[in-house]
Amino acid sequence: MKLVTLDEIKAVLPGIDLLTAIETGFVAYSEGRCIVPPVGELLMDGGEVHIKYGSLSDDPFYVIKIASGFPGNPKLGLPSGNGLMLLFSQQTGELVCILLDEGHLTGVRTAVAGAISAKYLAPRPVRRIGIMGTGLQAQLQLKHLTTVIDCREVLAWGRGVEQLRRFRRALEGFGFSLETTLDAAEIGATCNLIVTTTSATEPILRSRDIQSGTHITAIGSDTPHKQELDVGILADADKVVADSKMQCRLRGEIFKALEAGVITENVVVELGHLIGGGAQGRTTDSQVTVFDSTGVAVQDIKIANAVYDAIN
């Protein structure tokens, strides 16, 4: 059994084509070539733990991923996220590898999914990227967007001046022209590619502020009680895309819109069908598109397999 540390994982990630690997996973998921049970989770007063697991028919391993988020940890000098991934042989059930990624691979695979959605749904050209949130996932989303989007003009929204100052420092040297705002409405009014990365439980982005031709990648709402988008955004959108229709019945922005009765499930398509050609992405410059990312185990399976192959 191999034990792989975070430093070893970070050393091999730059050499892996994660975009292609995770695209392949999404296609397999939407084509029904995966076993992905419902998400297991512990929602506690101090934090939350997500357990995602599954297998692909043509992969050597099944994967179990545990990832946690404890928002109060930074005050204790600890990272808010943690976790690991376990790779077991599909033939014998033997534990083959433990990836002690401390939650890093979950962050990366989530950011890659955001980049994939932009590849198929973002307007051309993107004039300005709006980032809502100032944490590590906001940073990762921007960095991975550079693989599919030429735009480097960014407006970041946060809940406080100090959070925005730290965010700016973290992105120094990455080539972005970064401005900041405390006014969430300014994001919708001036950006045509928007990524939301917060743990909000009430909408921070309103339909009245969205421009024609905007794409929105909604990352933060990965439990039933979280919500970043006004349901009117989904009601008015020309295309609503889910990473998993099954999961989005129970969590995320699509869940909130279904619950409010402003959309029906038949308008939702899966990202894997866009990638595989079974559904169309953006077809006109004026369309408003939304991608609801709730995080699917197939992303964990593909990134775990890729890291294992790179290390071996």
Catalytic residue list: 65
Q: How far apart are the C-alpha atoms of 190 and 126, rounded to whole Å?
A: 11
Judged by phi (left if over 0) then psi (alpha if -120 to 50, else beta), residue 133 lies in: left
Q: How far apart are the C-alpha atoms of 275 and 31, rounded to whole Å?
A: 11
Q: How far apart are the C-alpha atoms of 78 and 94, rounded to whole Å?
A: 33
**Quick one: how far is CA 38 from the chain centroid?**
18
Q: Cα separations (Å) of 211 from 9, 103, 126, 246, 298?
A: 40, 35, 12, 29, 33
Q: Which of 219, 229, 155, 167 is nearest to 192 (CA)?
A: 155
Q: Which of 99, 109, 106 is nearest to 69 (CA)?
A: 106
DSSP designation for 249: T
> Which three-class secondary structure state does DSSP give residue 276?
helix
Q: Cα separations (Å) of 142 from 31, 153, 177, 233, 244?
A: 29, 11, 12, 22, 23
Q: How far apart are the C-alpha atoms of 99 and 58, rounded to whole Å?
A: 21
